[in-house]
Homo-oligomer: A and B are copies of this chain.
Amino acid sequence: MPGVPKEMKAMFTRDVLPHVKQQTGGAVILSRTLHTFGLGESAIAEKLGDLMRRDRNPSVGTTVSGGVVSLRVNARFASADEATRRLRATEDACRAALGDLIYGQNGQALQDVVGAMLADQCKTVATAESCTGGLVAKMLTDVPGSSRYVRQGWVTYSNESKTESLGVSAATIQQHGAVSEQVVGAMAEGARTRARADYALAISGVAGPDGGTPAKPVGTVCIALAHAHGTVARTFNFPGDREWVRDRSAKMALTMLRYHLLGAPMPF
């Protein structure tokens, strides 16, 4: 097969696929991928239970990439009709087992789903980021049309910028430290007010490799969500290196907003 994608696809469709179809005697494999974020692979497997039995058809397997635990459902049956029907039934069973843990399917990223929810609900969002340095804003604006709901973002890497741009009191930073639920809460509230947004996400953490302390080791990240009726802040401990910690922090912030938009408590 040629390496150029366009040529490869044309050749595959015209020359290869008919042979494959002949060989399978009309049998069909249909697949669907469902994505979760927040729980580990073993916790997801436990919730799925017998759905993951190896001899099951449709089969359900899990893969992990960037902290996202994905379910791959493969249905192999004699006809497309049956494969479609059985795939649907297994997908429904997976959704029943995992509920809101499933945020999307196939090519959907967290920012696509959260963005669609914001657009549907006519809500806007602002960001205030320390250790993630703009990653949450970058992810939100990955989505075409995100100008409808992304109001504004701040990257406040220094303590002074948290105070000057977001109005976080120097005393709060002094008393609790830049990586604290108090400071991210104030960052989120400052960003929400200044951007006149419905929601604001704020992150401050120790991304590493340096800067960790016994009380706040590398991977300690505080995330806050400010909304019209209050502010919630949480502290997480993410494993891995700087890139991992930043990536997981950004995804967890989007996940906090997603659960809030769902009106459901976060199950972790």
Q: Which residues of A contact B (CB under 8 A)?
A: 127, 129, 131-138, 140-142, 144-147, 150-158, 161, 164-165, 194-195, 208-210, 242-243
Closest B residue to A131 by beta carbon equals B141
Q: Nearest Cβ in chain B — how far from A207, in angstroms?
A: 8
Whether B155 lies near A155 (C-beta < 8 A) is: yes
Whether B144 lies near A134 (C-beta < 8 A) is: no
18 of the cross-chain contacts (CB-CB < 8 Å) are: A132-B138, A132-B141, A133-B146, A141-B157, A144-B209, A146-B157, A150-B157, A151-B161, A152-B154, A152-B156, A152-B157, A153-B154, A153-B155, A154-B154, A154-B155, A155-B155, A161-B195, A165-B194
Known: A161-B195, A195-B161. A155 touches B134 (CB 8 A): yes
- Selected contact of A157 from candidates B131, B135, B151, B165, CB within 8 Å: B151
Known: A144-B242, A209-B144. A133 touches B155 (CB 8 A): no
- Selected contact of A208 from candidates B144, B146, B194, B195, CB within 8 Å: B144
> How distant is the Cα of A147 from the Cα of B157 in the complex, in angstroms?
6
CB neighbours of A209 from chain B (8 A): 144
Closest B residue to A155 by beta carbon equals B153
Q: Nearest Cβ in chain B — how far from A62, in angstroms?
A: 17
Q: Nearest Cβ in chain B — how far from A145, in angstroms?
A: 7
Known: A152-B156, A154-B153, A154-B155. A210 touches B144 (CB 8 A): yes
Q: Nearest Cβ in chain B — how far from A209, in angstroms?
A: 5
Q: Indicate how many identical chains form the complex.
A: 2
Whether A147 lies near B153 (C-beta < 8 A) is: no
CB neighbours of A195 from chain B (8 A): 161
Q: A135-B138, A144-B242 are in contact. List 15 more A-B contacts (CB 8 A).
A: A127-B134, A133-B137, A133-B138, A133-B150, A133-B153, A134-B155, A137-B155, A142-B243, A147-B158, A152-B156, A152-B158, A153-B154, A153-B155, A154-B154, A155-B155
CB neighbours of A194 from chain B (8 A): 164-165
> How distant is the Cα of A142 from the Cα of B243 in the complex, in angstroms?
7
CB neighbours of A138 from chain B (8 A): 132-135, 138
> How distant is the Cα of A194 from the Cα of B158 in the complex, in angstroms?
13
> How distant is the Cα of A165 from the Cα of B151 in the complex, in angstroms?
12
Among A131, A195, A242, find the residue whose CB has the most chain B CB atoms closer than 10 A. A195
> How distant is the Cα of A144 from the Cα of B194 in the complex, in angstroms?
30
